[in-house]
Structure 1
């Protein structure tokens, strides 16, 4: 048997040796971890670099500064047509003809003869531009203003009647009606002279003739509206004006659009809608009334 003191001494030495060994191992492992990136934890090696690359490659989106809400006027138009059971008078194909031109031209100046169930749509399609509606019925204007106060509309009085169309066609061929000039000062019986000044003074990019009423003999008819639209286009300082006439299945709209907007300027007919593109006559006063 070994003496007791020797046994106690050997046990103490063993404990100290084991402690020193663990201490040395810990120091070595810590040293390797800080010097060799391959021994890093999966979290620091994979997740953090990916987050870093996302920050560098694509800046985070701050919606308050880079995103905008849909404009209120467009939101109202969407809500109205989504919930409305009233169908606009023009078909989808007819509307598409004007919509394609607006897609290229808007925001622009758009004059519309008539204030109807499709007016909110035309205003929305010309978002950022100016769209003016000319309406014969004052009470209807008031109703529409209450419902859609953002629409700009004016009352127009027409002196003609559908049963006068044949006589007015003959009048329109006279020199006082084919001469270029501001329609508010025109001597032509067909010219509309009582419109708001801004209508005469604005350079219209598009004009839609879908009014006044023209389906019975005592109605005002669209003779003056078609003639005036054509003369406004010709009197424009430069460029072209797109003119659209609806309901060309009727005699007045058919004959007057061909006579005063001209067959040679017609670009397309879709259903009851005709599209004309009329150039400015300012730099070509010797141009024939129709090509």
Structure 2
């Protein structure tokens, strides 16, 4: 009896030990699984990220257009090509310095293509036309022979012959008329102005166009018998004020001379002066028709 009881006890002990061993193994496996799970997840995430990155890279590469094997050939505009050839092969340079030219070039860079009126047809005419590429650049010239000479070389330039009936030695008298006549401070079409300074003999289309930029670099004004720029400066200011809306940039060259200095200050107004560089002044004149009651000079 004692041996049977002892055997039964040993068997129970073995069974209990096996159960505990089984439970221990299960718990050990569970702990190992929970410990390694984040590593596995991270690894999968990294793999997924790599795959996603590769797919994005493939998509980006497919969406980006490839560069052409040969570059597209674009021709230079004729005005620019003519100007490059002309200035590369001539020893004659424009009368304005590079600093003075830069003043109006900055304005043209912003406003072009625009309507650009130039008093004077000179060695810089091709340059002005090129800087206003796509716009309309018109030149007014007093010397008919010079116009024919320039047009034979550059037939694409648009120029008109105009006649001035003033003389430099009359400048003091004309200044008095401009300052004292009430009609000279009224804004109107120059053709119908009663002011003695207004130029009325231009081609009609000069008066019909609203000019965005005006350059007064003519007529001749360096000796007493020359026409002088008294009326040209006054008329440029009148054209600017008479536009329906917006503003006009007006440049006057040779302001180191008495006429250009006094008449630009009086009729383009120091209040509208924006910049002076060397012998050139830049005025910005707003429309006076767009705001009635605006004083002639601010």
Shorter-chain TM-score bucket reads: 0.7 to 0.9
Superposition map of 1:120-159 within 5 A: 120-159=126-165
Shift of 1:284: 2.5
> Is 1:108 the equivalent of 2:114?
yes
Q: Distance in 2 between matches of 1:219 and 1:54?
A: 70
Q: For residue 240 of structure 1, report the CA deviation from its aligned partner.
A: 0.6
Indicate how the Cα distance of structure 1 residues 83 and 257 shifts in structure 2: closer, same or farther if over 3 A, else same: same
List alignment gaps of at least 5 residues for structure 1. Answer: 1-52
Partner of 2:220: 213
Q: 1:108 & 1:285 partners in 2: Cα distance?
A: 25
CA distances 1:26-64 after superposition (whole Å, capped 9, x unpaired): xxxxxxxxxxxxxxxxxxxxxxxxxxx988633353769
**How big is each residue's C-alpha offset from its partner over 1:149-187, in whole Å with a ceiling of 9 and x where there is no partner?**
110000010000000000000111211111110001111
Counterpart in the other structure of 1:18: none
**Could you say which residue in structure 2 is the equivalent of 1:175?**
182
- Residues 1:231 and 2:253 are matched in the alignment: no
The answer for the alignment partner of 2:81 in structure 1 is 75
Structure 2 residue matching 1:165: 3-state secondary structure:
helix
Structure 1 residues 206 and 59: CA distance shift in structure 2, 3 A: same
Q: Could you list the per-position Cα deviations for residues 213-264 of structure 1 after superposition, in whole angstroms to 9, with x for gaps in the alignment?
A: 0000000000000000000000010011000000000000000000000000
**Distance in 2 between residues matched to 1:77 and 1:286, nearest whole Å:** 44
Gaps of 5+ in 2: 1-59
Partner secondary structure for residue 255 of structure 2 = coil
My pick for the range that moved more, 173-182 or 216-225, is 173-182
- The offset of 1:67, in angstroms, is 3.7
What are the within-5 Å matches in structure 2 for residues 211-290 of structure 1? 211-290=218-297
Partner of 1:117: 123
- Tell me the equivalent position of 2:92: 86
Q: Distance in 1 between matches of 2:246 and 2:287?
A: 6
2:4 maps to none
Structure 1 segments (4+ residues) deviating >3 Å? 53-57
Q: Distance in 2 between matches of 1:190 and 1:145?
A: 30
- Using the size of structure 1 for normalisation, the TM-score is 0.79
Whole-angstrom CA distance in 2 between matches of 1:281 and 1:63: 54
Secondary structure of the equivalent of 2:145?
helix
Alignment counterpart, residue 161 of structure 1, candidates 151, 156, 167:
167
1:200 is the counterpart of 2:207: yes
* Matching residue of 2:33: none
1:59 and 1:186 mapped to 2: Cα distance? 63
For 1:258 and 1:87, locate their aligned partners in 2 and report how far apart those are by CA, in whole Å.
28
For 2:278 and 2:284, locate their aligned partners in 1 and report how far apart those are by CA, in whole Å: 18
| In 2, Cα distance between equivalents of 1:150 and 1:58 | 41
